[in-house]
Structure 1
Amino acid sequence: MSMAPAQEPGRLTFRDAVGADVPALVALVESAYRGDSSRAGWTTEADILKGQRTDPDGVRRVVESGDSRLLVVERGGELVACCQLENRGGAAYFGMFAVRPDLQGGGLGKAVIAEAERTVREGWGVAEMHMTVISVREELIAWYERRGYRRTGRLSPFPYGDERFGIPQRDDLAFELLVKDLVRPEC
């Protein structure tokens, strides 16, 4: 009988999501951003948005897209984080980033974003990573700035009235584009 090799408890593994992962990924994203469970971590949006952050159809579209990858991050065989990577030609888009709330603040997010950047730089040869962040999320934007992302000041409107993105609790929400140069400087 063949047994799968045991994973080291502290070692992160990265793989592409498959359809069977969709329910667990939706639960992870929701737990990281919405509702009371999200308050265990620091990335909660519970005070600015109610309702859902994503849904099974949205996650499934990312999993099945030819231009996107949804990376599943596991430690010891357990789902601990995820992120979406989308090839947009000269840049990659980074989204649907979630770290289990009880594991936030311990360096896991830094490791995931570093692997995501390496993956798109080496796999797609892109020069930049792009992401959008709700502009009032100052603490989160500051975290990305410490990782080398820069604010562009380019805003896009929040989709008020489209409950697939949540139910806003304030009227000043917009997405700001953050950008990081992925090209390594020559030595």
Structure 2
Amino acid sequence: MATTADLAFRPATARDIPALVELVESAYRGDASRVGWTTEADLLDGQRTDPDSVAQALARPDTRVLLAERAGTGELLACCTVERRGGGAYFGMFSVRPAQQGGGVGRLVLAEAERIAREEWGATELEMTVIVQRADLIAWYERRGFNRTGELSPFPYGDPSFGLPKRPDLAFERLVKAL
């Protein structure tokens, strides 16, 4: 099980964009993602992110793109974004290299994102959205203190920047955790 001593956290920079796109795609799309348990390959084809959207996230003043690297080697293992939103924060683009999933890396990245939101920004809650069909992923977040709100938003069908849906009933549910 990974420990905080195994990881080094740092904010992403523009030079990290290609590695970030590769990591996110490997965690969610295509056959490579099937090595881990967070794959969306049965729900969506196409891209999960692209260099332009990662660059936009890096440019937003109230957003931090957080990298988790193997301590001592700099090998990129995971990433996420944390975005300040009023008195709260939004958690997204959470990706763990498929071969590292299930070993505690994700738990540590989430804890660091929560720390940033709470201690650096004074956020009182962390929110996120998850595709409702991802029951296993929602259960993982519930075990970490997130609550389902029942608030749904439609999947952006027709916008290939979010992926190419394989089914007509996709939607996002908002999850919230008090910090």
TM-score by length of 1: 0.91
Partner AA of 1:83 in structure 2: C
1:2-151 equivalences under 5 Å are 11-75=6-70, 76-151=73-148
How far 1:11 sits from its partner (Å)? 2.1
What SS does structure 1 have at the residue aligned with 2:69? strand
Distance across 1 between alignment mates of 2:74 and 2:10: 11
Deviation at 1:67, TM superposition (A): 1.1
- What is the CA–CA distance in structure 2 between the aligned matches of 1:47 and 1:156, rounded to whole Å? 20
Please, which of 162, 176, 179 is the counterpart of residue 179 of structure 1?
A: 176
CA distance in 2, matches of 1:73, 1:63: 16
One-letter code of the match for 1:28? Answer: L
Point out the structure with max Rg over C-alpha: 1
What secondary structure is seen at the aligned counterpart in 2 of 1:120? helix
Paired letter, 1:18: T
What letter matches 1:57 in structure 2? D
Moved over 3 A (4+): none
Query: 2-side partners of 1:118 and 1:82: how far apart?
Result: 15
TM-score, normalised via structure 2 length:
0.95
The gaps in structure 1 that reach 5 residues or longer are: 1-9, 183-187
SS at 1:45's partner residue?
Answer: coil
Distance 1:151 1:104 in 2: 23
Q: Quick one: distance in 1 between partners of 2:56 and 2:107? A: 26
Q: Tell me the SS of whatever aligns to 1:81.
A: strand
List gaps (5 residues or longer) in structure 2.
none
